[in-house]
A and B are shown apart, each in its own frame.
Chain A
């Protein structure tokens, strides 16, 4: 296995996911296989190659920093599970 159980737990924490105990072995196995598979990239000679971030090798356009959207708070918040007075509710963060 190229990944250990502890590594996978750390990755899951970073990704804000929890892995059930009975799924752990399968997750470690499949993720390890994927990492092994993509490891073949290491052998490719890439000295001096510019990393490609945009498929047309161009830059993204900028726009003026002005408000273009209309206020649709109620419409948008209709999709939230918990709102009150136009605000999103989350569990208490500060004591």
Chain B
């Protein structure tokens, strides 16, 4: 590879697509350069569970042929990685768990299928909290992921491997999933751009289920433009997911330049109560001011039940988790305990050996809130409060087009810091969980540094308002450079 290609890892997907189209470098050169970077500079982060280098080089060779034949698809030759929660045919799919550490999926997830069909080159599968249950990527059976901004810190979670890999310029883009903030929170804590689309926008087929009424697939990238490029490929109806939306998919790239003049931005009173780091607040307010300079106006709105969103989530999500996790019985797939004396022993030991502490905790919480005598008090009540939270958003969106606020209360926290207290860990998702409960799209974009660490501006819109979110995020990124700042050790 010639000298001028040295900086391929610093480019965005859209820039790389141009380079491939212009013949500046080949897909094979690009793939080789990034695989080398992951094996070198990337090693220290523990961002990956599985590398698929051989397969990637074969796909890249096909991409080079396609390019030579003038047959470029939207993502031909563009490298990306998948969170290890997406099933990948003939490739290990562990979900960060011991119970699946030898599971080779017999099929591709819809997201993997669509991105692959559009020409993308999968380089590997990223580390994550076990079954996406965590906010720090510390619950992974494969060890914690480190934050490229400071290796003693967590990158957030559960899509921490995806976020760390994108932030460290190991890959330009990664898929993620977001059940309570698992794309947006790690994006904020690593200085990357992360979008969680509307519930049902992207097919959940082939995503290992955690909480089925909350789970949604999205991407972590270095720009809103790249997020728009990928989302346009990933989104759309899939009959194999019974909650997949039939809403037509708009042209997200075309929406990026939609003028912000007259856009009404909601500022949520409760977002700026106690709990939000003061420096973080200043940066979020400054980011909103940038959008105002583009002609947007701000309106104060209220989400009166915001403080109930975390407790609501920690009833609904564990309830669904306990149901989904019941499939892991040691019989059809996954880890199986040795020498079981009877069926009950097989189930109990398989599950106790296979699941980590946090997963067991959530299964038990869910079992409790669904059990006879407690169902009405906990699960049904949480579903009602969920309705109230959703109505709060609905009322706010009668006054505004988008809500802008912080993604997280603070910048990245130290590895080990919150592992002893589940509640403190859960409260880290206070600003992100509402969008999942109400099924709304949300995006986090880097909006500054606090003590040298990135924080995010979160934008949340009504159902299927991804175009508005992407337009705001893209135009913000045209006027600021926060998304271009590279963590020092990975420059």
Contacts and interface: CB of A to CB of B under 8 A. Distances in A.
B314 A15 contact: no
B363 interface: yes
A18 B353 CA distance: 9
A79 B348 contact: no
Contacts of B368: 3, 11, 31, 35
Given A18-B349, A30-B422, A55 B385 contact: no
B438 interface: yes
B312 A41 contact: yes
Nearest to B427: A37
Contacts of B78: none
Interface residues of A, number: 50
A15 B387 contact: no
Interface string A45-66: 0100111111111001101000
Interface residues of B, number: 73
A80 B347 contact: no
A50 B387 contact: yes
B336 to A, nearest CB: 4
Nearest to A56: B439
A89 to B, nearest CB: 8
B441 to A, nearest CB: 11
Nearest to A50: B387
A72 to B, nearest CB: 6
Contacts of A49: 384-385, 387-388
B257 interface: no
Given A27-B361, A63-B239, A42 B381 contact: yes
A44 B367 contact: no
26 contacts: A15-B322, A15-B360, A17-B352, A17-B364, A18-B348, A18-B352, A27-B364, A33-B423, A34-B361, A38-B311, A38-B315, A38-B369, A41-B382, A44-B308, A51-B384, A51-B386, A56-B199, A56-B463, A57-B390, A60-B242, A76-B333, A77-B332, A80-B333, A81-B335, A82-B336, A90-B346
